[in-house]
Chains A and B, each alone.
Chain A
Amino acid sequence: MLVLETLHGLRVIAAPASLDGVRWSEGTIVLRFAPDEAFALGATEVQIPDEYAIVVHESAFVGSWLTREELADSVLPHIEWPLPERRPSLAQGFVAGVPAKLWLDGDRALLLCAAAYVHELADRLG
């Protein structure tokens, strides 16, 4: 069974332009959920030129890194929509009927969903 583990990072809501301009530390994976929203994996602090920005520690996502084969075998059969072709990129939508996200980067992919759904997703993906 797929094991999804807690992901830690910063959840940031800020003006899109200010988010665009953020210099994240080396190696930070930034999942841009929306133009004004990002989840920066592993980040612990951020300088952002938006005095109203919401920056909070986020621990409510669980995820699992998958190889290209694991993605093809255990995840893709449960997705109705096409994956984006660009890499790296974020895809969001139902995976096996659970709201989930995929970070696609080269040969690997990070599958993540809210911790509240982890039992459903793991069960459905087997």
Chain B
Amino acid sequence: MTEASRIVVDGRPMPFHPDDSVALAVLRAGEHPHHGGTICLAGDCGNCIAEVDGVAYVRTCQTPCRPGLVMHRHPAVGAPPLHPAVALDTTTPPPARRISVQRSRAEVVVVGAGESGTAAASAAQRQGRSVTLLDGGQGMEVVAIYAGPTVIVRTPGGMAHIQAEEVIVATGAAELHPVCPGNALVGLVTANAAGQLHAAGVDLGVAVAIGSPPEGVPCTPVSGRLRRFEGHARVTAVVTVDDDGGERTTPCDTVILGLGRAPRDVLSRMAEELPVTVVGPAAASFPLPPAPDAGTVCPCSRVDVDDLASVWDRGFQELELVKRATLAGTGTCQGSVCLPHLRAFIAERSGQTPEPFTARPASRQITLAEAAAGVHVDAFRRTALHDEHVSLGARMDRFGGWWRPWHYGDHVAEYWAVREGVSLGDVSTLGKILVSGPDAVESLERLYPVRVADIRSGRSRYALLLDEGGHLIDDGMILRETETRFALTFTSAGAAHAEMWLRDWIDMWGLRVHVLDRTMSLAAVNVTGPLAGRLLERVGLPAPPRFLQHVHAEIAGVPCHVMRLSFTGEVSFELHHDVHRSVELWRALLANGSDLGIVPHGLQALQGLRLEKGHVIVGMDTELDSTPRRLGMDWAVQMDKAEFVGRSALARTAGLPDQRRLVGLTMPGIAPTEGSPIWSDREVVGHVSSSFTSPLLGHAVMLGWLKRAPFPDTVTVDGRAAAVVRPPFYDPEGSRARA
């Protein structure tokens, strides 16, 4: 025997023959792959499970031997351990075991290549249908049938996901296991397993057969009803009972059990209501075994008949309750072994035969890695300037599904550049939608709570977007291009939803409007700060638009849609442009602004800047039920307009008492942590939604929710007094943004 034909079992080399399964090789060596229990060699039970190559709970009878394969027995008692080195090693990712996935389609998938399966496959082929025949003998293990129907298979080479029109389950019937005292001993085999062992040349010793003996296997039939097995670890005798009640003890090395069969029905129990046909013995009705009176009924979960009786007698008197109270049927084999006996037990006691319980995936167990093979859970977006940010030292963070610069190393310096000089912000992630059509005005009037018709071409207006309940879902700008054409902007996080929102309503209303979402097509750079105008002058825009105007112009040679607005509180120009010109524009702006002290700013600085201006960030300062009234933004709603989304809800709730306000708060010193509770009279009355220690003002500024009327003038946050004020905290007249 060469090294090439050995496996390693619990550290000892063990020879195998060609075509041996791991279980067969172990049995050939006179051992048991587990610690006892009936061996079926058909993949039905969990009595041969072991750890194979580091993966526990592997049915060794379905695992071909391979030179060097390492098998460890599970412990006799308790669950298999995880090797600490494996469990704790997170510094190196697990070996990149790339598990391949074969995706395919078939009109018919036949599970099982036995007599009925091959017949069903041939019949389908004769009808001209494409057929995939899954042969367990070829290592095609069906994990589950899902809706579709989709059949998930573990194959010798990886995983297969098959989309079918119809699945034919031809899994045949499984042999019944004995339930009686001693049924966890070594030396018990089913008739089919005995045949396989004999054919493989395994010495069964003195073999006796209970029930139908296998053909061609030398053994002595023993008559009578099975009572118990005797022996210590290994079976040494079987005890049967004759019709007259007399016990007979037959010494033996092996007991061959031909106790009858039950449908191999895990897949059909899993696939109720799906287009699944069950054929052959898998669909046949077999008599239940006699009700068990002693012994292990569920080897996987180690449940004895006594356990069943115990819970039954205490009122757990139906299959599901018995199962849950004992855990019978919830182990590795998913009830394949115990379900017929459980049903017989309940039938005897209740007088009614219960239906089998539903099976859940997985019928053949797979690892998480095998389950995850071929899937990618999410995709993050990068702006065209991603590499620019990284090369400038930005710490990137994810927001709204995009990678964005959080800061470039010094968020306070970034803040001052905006307040006193000029700075760039990458706002490419903003939602940008073009609408055009004869009904453009009509559709926007219905979508937005502000008036749209009177926005002149070349002008823009800030707008809220409300849902049917009048709750703020997004905000942005409406920019009029022509009589019938508008550019709309939305927040970065709200952009994906904005397109859906617009299209859904326009569909529903049947309005004639074209919609183009340009969120990923246009990059955008915000040039902001008191020196922003001077920078734009240098790069080709000597007469920049005034506040809330917008123009199309070339900036540093790049065609841009230039929008004058302000989120930072300073003069701001958003330059929207084709993504492929973005790096060029960004670099030109930085180069031309170097003597103005230009630095880019990240989100961290931006959040402070906008907070000083009292601008809310949707989703951060707003909640799912924030109405304009609660946000102090009634000014952005024109209730005298005709119908718009949310209008009736706003009209209805306007008359209801309300106890929620988003307010401004100030206090000396360092800003409390965002999320801090707001206290009044020793009660929590709200929380801080945003906070910032203003470098310019020299104290803390906050937005926060008060949720109990009457609203106090002074509250306590972080153990300190805070004044309730009306934002903005900075430049309340807005003269800087309009400068």
Contact = CB atoms under 8 A, between A and B. Distances in A.
Answer whether A and B touch in the complex at a CB cut-off of 8 Å. yes
Contact of A120 (B379, B384, B520): B379
Nearest to A79: B103
Contacts of B376: 96-98, 124
User: Which has the most chain A C-beta neighbours within 10 Å: B100, B381, B512, B515?
Assistant: B381
A59 B103 CA distance: 33
B379 A13 contact: no
B436 A13 contact: yes
7 nearest CB pairs, A to B: A97-B376, A116-B381, A60-B521, A59-B580, A13-B514, A114-B520, A120-B379
B520 A97 contact: no
A14 B513 CA distance: 9
Given A76-B103, A115-B580, A119-B382, 9 more contacts: A13-B515, A13-B516, A37-B516, A52-B436, A52-B484, A60-B579, A77-B100, A77-B103, A99-B379
User: Which has the most chain A C-beta neighbours within 10 Å: B100, B485, B521?
Assistant: B521
Contacts of B100: 77
A117 interface: yes
B437 A52 contact: yes
11 contacts: A52-B438, A52-B440, A54-B434, A54-B436, A60-B521, A78-B374, A97-B375, A99-B379, A114-B520, A115-B520, A115-B580
A57 B559 CA distance: 11
Interface in A39-54: 52-54
A14 B514 contact: yes
Contacts of B666: none
Contacts of A14: 514
User: Which has the most chain B C-beta neighbours within 10 Å: A79, A99, A120?
Assistant: A120
B579 A59 contact: yes
Contacts of A117: 379, 381
Nearest to A76: B103
Contact of A59 (B161, B383, B578): B578
A49 B55 CA distance: 66
Contacts of A13: 434, 436, 514-516
B101 interface: yes
Interface of A: 6, 8, 11, 13-14, 36-37, 52-54, 56-60, 76-80, 82, 96-99, 114-117, 119-121, 124
A68 B101 CA distance: 20
B380 interface: yes
A78 B544 CA distance: 49
A52 B518 contact: no
A82 B105 contact: yes
Contact of B514 (A8, A54, A116, A119): A54
Contacts of A82: 105
Nearest to A36: B514
A96 B521 CA distance: 22
Interface residues of B, number: 37
A59 B161 CA distance: 36
B377 interface: yes
Contacts of A37: 516
Given A53-B436, A60-B578, A80-B103, A11 B521 contact: yes
B436 A57 contact: no
B382 A116 contact: yes
Contacts, number: 83
B3 interface: no
B520 A60 contact: yes
Given A97-B375, A117-B381, A56 B516 contact: yes
Contacts of B514: 13-14, 36, 52-54
Interface string B599-621: 00000000000000000000000
B378 interface: yes
Interface in B325-361: none
Nearest to A100: B379
A80 B520 CA distance: 25
Contact of A57 (B161, B434, B578): B578
Nearest to A51: B484
B427 to A, nearest CB: 14
Contacts of A96: 376
B384 to A, nearest CB: 7
B161 to A, nearest CB: 8
Nearest to A121: B379
Contacts of A8: 580
A97 B379 contact: yes
A97 B484 CA distance: 37
User: Which has the most chain A C-beta neighbours within 10 Å: B383, B438, B579?
Assistant: B579
Interface in B562-607: 578-581
A51 to B, nearest CB: 8
A119 B516 CA distance: 24
Given A79-B103, A97-B375, A119-B382, A6 B516 contact: no
A32 to B, nearest CB: 14
B510 to A, nearest CB: 14
A6 B438 CA distance: 34
A124 B518 CA distance: 25
